[in-house]
A and B are shown apart, each in its own frame.
Chain A
Amino acid sequence: MCECDRCEQLLQSFLDRQLDEWERAEAEEHLVRCSYCRRRYVFEEKLRMYVRQSVVDEPMRPELKLKLAALRVEL
């Protein structure tokens, strides 16, 4: 297996921060050297960032918080 295949295998888990220290070091080392994988990494990272940000603008309404608190069972 060439290094890029291995990097591809690690890429998604790397981006989702699910790798152990050893695997992370392996992926990072390859990313430093390989511009193709680095480009993919940057792209995938941006995609995740957009997904994360796409909900930030709509916080829960205070009314809902009150409704939830009202659901508490009477002692």
Chain B
Amino acid sequence: MVSSGCDRSQALLSEPTITAKLAASRSVPAHSVATDELTVRGLTGVDMTLTVAGPGTRSYAFVVDWHIRVLGVLAWVLLGAMLRQMFPVSAGGKLTSNPIMLALMVGAGLTYFLYHPVLELAMRGRTPGKRIAGVRIVTVEGEMPGAGALLTRNLFRLIDSLPSFYLLGLVCCFVTRQSVRIGDMAGGTLLVLEAEDSASSLGRLSALLERSSLPPETLKLVQDLLARWKALQKPQRLILARTLLARIEPQRDAAALAALDEASLRALLENHVAR
């Protein structure tokens, strides 16, 4: 078994193969599906590429937000029911004549209808659903949208939601190049996949590069393999570890490498990252 793994590792020496294998072994969440890219010229003249979120990601974010909205409204209704028990409406009196009930009804309505505009303004182009889905709203220039753009895109929900269940908006997302609905077209916005830990990943990578003598690509591969060590099946991680070590240490004998057990392989890889 060990020798066959080593033979295979010789065949998998090329880096793109390793990368592809690592990528294949990763469970790809639905929200990473992207349909297009947005290239934006930065203020310095150096351009950058943002990954546009597709209809699937948008729908996922919307469904999460919708559930939060419904839960919010239900909380209001429950509160209303409790208060109604405590302060019963007089016989023949209308529900709307009770100021507490009135406030609760208005609160529930506001929770449902102002959820998106208020949270997008407060969270600078995000909502809890978008955050979970890993997307954020940006302008077509790749910047944070202003209040006007956010309000406009929310205003057009009136049209996007026609005839029901956001059908028009969804169709628009499927047929437009950047997967935008009518509100986004009017507001000049679009949803991009968020590089949430971009700054920290640069920080981690640069810290590793400072310590390690490995080239960045190899270092990243080793780091990825170690991070997903337990998630990978044992034969698979052994093959990948031997393949990487064969590349990192070409002087090491293939047979000796094949004889190493799992703990030793991991220790060697960790040593390379820390060195």
Do the two shown chains form a genuine complex with each other? Answer: no
Interface of B toward A, CB cutoff 8 Å:
none
Interface of A toward B, CB cutoff 8 Å:
none
